[in-house]
């Protein structure tokens, strides 16, 4: 079966009648067809209307959010998670301002990626087009609901949003406000939809909606991402898992190495571009590790050390524990770091190839040859030379808003901006050309 709108594995009709999820996906597909040819001005006007509506209806949004927050507190949710869930008038203002920022970004749709006149006189152009229907599965951050909707609208895509059920009331209110504004701006409201239903089955249906949904982007923990990767027949863009490394080469500026280590590890520990493992060349271990352990101790970081690093533990006030194998593959997202001494740059690369999630690895070195070899051999989305791992970020890269950081190699790798939310099509123009 080759039809786009009703593939065998994703028909909106099931034995029990139409599935709400697939019906929503079908409506999104229709909306996507209407969005695709829209010029930038029309899409930007809709985005500005969304920003205005978020401000005008802040109270409605904050009230709905209060229900979620109350439920979370009753359930004894950790305050850090409750904080991420909470929407205040200030935070709604910030979300609205993010939407204006997206409107200000260039429109990726219509960009000519390749173009040439073929020897036979045919004009060939490869042009950016929207992906179509984008499904986003994410955790309890209501701001993602609006960010994702804005980025998808800007790139001409319809979006199916599946947030955490703990944010259901907030997301329902936010999507209601966004849809009203989109519709008043003359665009199809179904371009932005919450996936109906709070059950896991809804996610499962979404993952099987190949032919209706063009891509699924899971944002969140490793287990969520693994589930989607395992079960989805819809193409998936993996995001976010970051077991990032800082390697200090045999020749390095020690002050710089300490600054980059501490910034990479402790600037913000809960993010995917935070460092989780320190690798130190054996020739610089004696000079660097005492200073590194002291700085890590001051930053409140616990060190999970290999045998060589452990020998420096006594002379420092750092909390140093013996590392077990699991430490090399753990994304702590906390004030913890694994640390090991390596015999060479190539051994550091081998350790990274073995254990890294392929997100971001940093080298600190004064050697041009070492920097060149490290960047050539390390196979991760981003390799930094004498810079913090924390720079792997769409905002830092100048992409404006970011839909996520892809840790896979297909389609998008690293921070994903608006161009990563597009595909391309070839336009072949002739004067009656035949072969």
210 contacts a second copy (rule: CB under 8 A): yes
The position carrying tokens 């040439």 is 116
- The C-alpha atoms of residue 308 and residue 144 are separated, in whole angstroms, by 43
Q: Measured from the CB of residue 132, what is the shortest distance to a second copy in angstroms?
A: 7
The position carrying tokens 């899971």 is 218
3 state DSSP class of 121: coil
Q: Measured from the CB of residue 306, what is the shortest distance to a second copy in angstroms?
A: 17
356 contacts a second copy (rule: CB under 8 A): yes
33 contacts a second copy (rule: CB under 8 A): yes
DSSP tag of 165? G
3 state DSSP class of 95: helix
Taking the CA atoms of residue 207, residue 175, residue 397 and residue 126 in that order, the dihedral angle to the nearest 10 degrees is: 60
Among 411, 420, 418, 424, which residue's Cα sits nearest to residue 129?
424
Options 88, 116, 334, 344; binder of a second copy; rule CB under 8 A: 116
230 contacts a second copy (rule: CB under 8 A): yes
380 contacts a second copy (rule: CB under 8 A): yes
Instruction: State which residue, 90 or 230, has the beta carbon closest to a second copy.
Output: 230
227 contacts a second copy (rule: CB under 8 A): no
428 contacts a second copy (rule: CB under 8 A): yes
313 contacts a second copy (rule: CB under 8 A): no
Instruction: State which residue, 179 or 359, has the beta carbon closest to a second copy.
Output: 359
- Inter-residue contact 424 to 128 (CB < 8 Å): yes
- Window 133-192: residues binding a second copy (CB under 8 A): none
334 contacts a second copy (rule: CB under 8 A): no
Convert 396-435 to b/e letters by CB count within 10 Å (16 or more is b): eeebbbbbbbbbeeeebbbbbbbebbbeeeeeeeeeeeee
- The C-alpha atoms of residue 251 and residue 342 are separated, in whole angstroms, by 14
Options 21, 92, 95, 129; binder of a second copy; rule CB under 8 A: 129
41 contacts a second copy (rule: CB under 8 A): no
Number of residues that bind a second copy (CB under 8 A): 85
Q: Measured from the CB of residue 311, what is the shortest distance to a second copy in angstroms?
A: 27
Convert 321-348 to b/e letters by CB count within 10 Å (16 or more is b): eebeeebbebbbeeebbbbbbbeebebb
- Window 242-301: residues binding a second copy (CB under 8 A): 243, 253, 255-256, 259-260, 263, 267
423 contacts a second copy (rule: CB under 8 A): yes
Binding segment toward a second copy, per CB under 8 A, in 18-26, 176-184, 281-289, 422-430: 422-430
Binding segment toward a second copy, per CB under 8 A, in 136-144, 166-174, 228-236, 336-344: 228-236
- Inter-residue contact 257 to 277 (CB < 8 Å): no
- Window 381-410: residues binding a second copy (CB under 8 A): 381-388, 390-392, 396-398, 408-410
Tell me the torsion sign for CA atoms 20, 179, 39, 137: negative
CA diameter of the chain = 81
36 contacts a second copy (rule: CB under 8 A): yes
Instruction: State which residue, 49 or 237, has the beta carbon closest to a second copy.
Output: 237
Instruction: State which residue, 115 or 322, has the beta carbon closest to a second copy.
Output: 115
122 contacts a second copy (rule: CB under 8 A): yes
221 contacts a second copy (rule: CB under 8 A): no
Q: Measured from the CB of residue 181, what is the shortest distance to a second copy in angstroms?
A: 25
Residue 171, Cβ density class (10 Å: 0-12 exposed, 13-18 middle, ≥19 buried): buried
Q: Measured from the CB of residue 58, what is the shortest distance to a second copy in angstroms?
A: 30
Instruction: State which residue, 132 or 142, has the beta carbon closest to a second copy.
Output: 132
The position carrying tokens 């209407």 is 34
User: What does the block give as tokens for 10?
Assistant: 């994703």
Instruction: State which residue, 27 or 390, has the beta carbon closest to a second copy.
Output: 390
13 contacts a second copy (rule: CB under 8 A): no
Among 364, 337, 359, 370, which residue's Cα sits nearest to residue 414?
359
């Amino acid at each position: 079966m080759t039809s786009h709108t009703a593939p065998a594995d994703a028909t909106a009709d099931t034995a029990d009648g139409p599935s709400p999820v697939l019906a929503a996906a079908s409506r999104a597909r229709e909306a996507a067809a209407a969005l695709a040819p829209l010029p930038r001005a029309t899409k930007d006007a809709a985005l500005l209307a969304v920003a205005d509506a978020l401000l005008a209806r802040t109270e409605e949004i904050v009230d709905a959010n209060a229900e979620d927050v109350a439920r979370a507190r009753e359930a004894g949710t950790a305050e850090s998670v409750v904080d991420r869930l909470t929407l205040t008038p200030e935070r709604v203002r910030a979300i609205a301002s993010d939407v204006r920022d997206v409107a200000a970004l260039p429109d990726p749709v219509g960009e000519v990626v390749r173009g040439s006149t073929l020897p036979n006189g045919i004009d060939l152009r490869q042009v950016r087009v929207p992906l179509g229907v984008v499904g986003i599965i994410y955790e309890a951050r209501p701001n993602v609901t609006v960010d994702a909707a804005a980025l998808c609208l800007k790139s001409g895509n319809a979006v199916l949003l599946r947030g955490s059920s703990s944010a259901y009331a907030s997301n329902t209110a936010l999507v209601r406000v966004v849809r009203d504004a989109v519709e008043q701006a003359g665009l199809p409201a179904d371009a932005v939809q919450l996936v109906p239903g709070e059950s896991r089955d809804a996610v499962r249906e979404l993952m099987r909606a190949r032919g209706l949904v063009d891509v699924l982007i899971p944002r969140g923990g490793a287990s969520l991402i693994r589930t989607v990767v395992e079960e989805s027949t819809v193409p998936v863009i993996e995001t976010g898992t970051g077991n990032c490394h800082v390697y200090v080469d045999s020749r390095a500026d020690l002050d710089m190495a300490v600054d980059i280590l501490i910034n990479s590890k402790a600037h913000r520990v809960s993010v995917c571009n935070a460092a989780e493992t320190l690798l130190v060349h054996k020739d610089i271990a004696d000079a660097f590790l005492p200073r590194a352990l002291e700085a890590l101790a001051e930053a409140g970081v616990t060190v999970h050390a290999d045998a060589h690093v452990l020998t420096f533990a006594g002379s420092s006030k750092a909390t140093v524990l013996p590392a077990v194998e699991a430490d090399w593959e753990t994304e702590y997202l906390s004030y913890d770091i694994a640390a090991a001494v390596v015999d060479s740059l190539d051994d550091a690369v081998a350790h990274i190839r073995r254990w890294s999630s392929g997100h971001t690895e940093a080298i600190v070195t004064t050697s041009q040859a070492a920097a060149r070899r490290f960047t050539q051999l390390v196979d991760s989305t981003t390799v930094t030379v004498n810079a913090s791992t924390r720079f792997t970020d769409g905002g830092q890269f100048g992409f404006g808003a970011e839909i996520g950081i892809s840790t896979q190699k297909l389609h998008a790798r690293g921070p994903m901006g608006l161009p990563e939310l597009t595909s391309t099509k070839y336009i072949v123009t002739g004067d009656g050309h035949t072969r």
